[in-house]
Amino acid sequence: MEKNLVEVNLDKLVSFRRDVHRHPELGFEEHETSRKIREYLEALDVEYVSGIGKTGIVAWIVGSREGHGASVGLRADMDALPLEEHSGVDHASRHHGRMHACGHDGHTTMLLGAVEYFRHNRAFSGTIYFIFQPAEEGVGGGKAMVDDGLFERFPIKEVYGLHNWPGLPVGKFGLVSGPIMASGDRVDITIQGRGGHGGLNPHGCVDPIRIAAELISKAHTIISREVDPLNPAVLSICAIQGGDLDGFAVIPNTTKLSGTIRALDEETRTIVASGLRRLCESLEHYYGATIELKIEDKFGVTFNDAEATESARKVIQECFGEDALVRDYKPSMGGEDFSYMLAVRPGSYIHVGSGDEDHPHGLHNPQYDFNDSIIPLGVSLLSRLAVASLNRQYS
């Protein structure tokens, strides 16, 4: 497999990626990252507009061949996570409690590599838009860019994105038509009871700890008994806060829970949310407590268009070989707010293998670091996807 299908200055790109890694910024706070991207674009004399969806940027390059309005968008995310880094690499985060633990520094770098390639190779018809998106990590950057007129201001007809995937070895690509990433809802539950002495008068209390325990137990049966077993779904209560560990005999007034709902279709998503609402209402009435349930829509299902996905499959096989595509690839129950863009324009989202002996850690792990060896693969893939899309629009 030829890894460097387009010419890239790998040393330059790796240096940029590691600089961004040293200085991670959280969602909608990517001011320095955005500045560095703008400087890179300006050095290439590439046109762009900044401030889209707060800190987002859209750049574009028009091909030198005559055309009739074909256009395609390539998207990369650029925010970091609120996580303390323990990777031990020389370019580790210099900011306490923030790190690039999902590889968005690498995605941004690969997109800049594609910009630089097309800056010097304009022998195509149409316009390629390069979308640098803020705030992917559950903060709504994709939605913010769409709401800020991304597709009205820039006539993008198809849009593509990729994500490094440590669960796949370098040189492998994961792709599926239809849902590839799950919807994601944040669940917050507040149980307001009546506290008191845990030894003297527990019978006079409305114990929110007891209610929380029952709620957690019953919530985890919603999937197994209300959802079609052939429709993937997840309901996880991931955090609980109530009382004080030093107050061993104190029943608190309030207990709070948080968690997430994931599904690959809207009907299943609704069934799980409805089941959780009914459960909270029944426990509220039974125990005489007040239970407040909030379900926040973080992102929808990331849905790959069939035609765009078939085009992407052909690009991968032609560029990287028949065996590069993982057979019978399965969707992930992780979420991705690229879903907001794919809900408006057809396109496809691709997992790019990044796992090897030197990069065994998964996404969102404090020991994770992006695998720089896949930068040429990402640049090549993005570039070929764009050209294939433009050519299809003219065919």
- Check whether 96 is labelled as a binding-site residue: no
Question: Within 13 Å and on the Cβ side, how many CA atoms surround 313?
Answer: 15
> Which of the 8 DSSP states describes residue 326?
P
- Check whether 137 is labelled as a binding-site residue: yes
- Check whether 361 is labelled as a binding-site residue: no
Residue 189 sits at φ, ψ, to 5 deg, of -125, 130
How many angstroms separate the CA atoms of 263 and 261, rounded? 7
Q: Which residue intervals of the chain are DSSP H helices?
A: 10-22, 31-43, 104-120, 141-147, 150-153, 208-219, 222-226, 266-287, 306-320, 339-342, 375-394
The percent helix, strand, coil of the chain (3-state, each to 5) is 35, 30, 35
Cβ(226)–Cβ(220) under 8 Å? no
Cβ(161)–Cβ(217) under 8 Å? no
- Check whether 31 is labelled as a binding-site residue: no
- Check whether 102 is labelled as a binding-site residue: yes
DSSP letters for 360-372: -PPTT-TT----G
DSSP letters for 156-185: -S-EEEEEEEEEEETT-EE--SEEEEEEEE
- Residues belonging to the binding site for Mn(2+) are 102, 104, 137, 163, 364
Q: Which residue numbers belong to the known binding site? A: 102, 104, 137, 163, 364
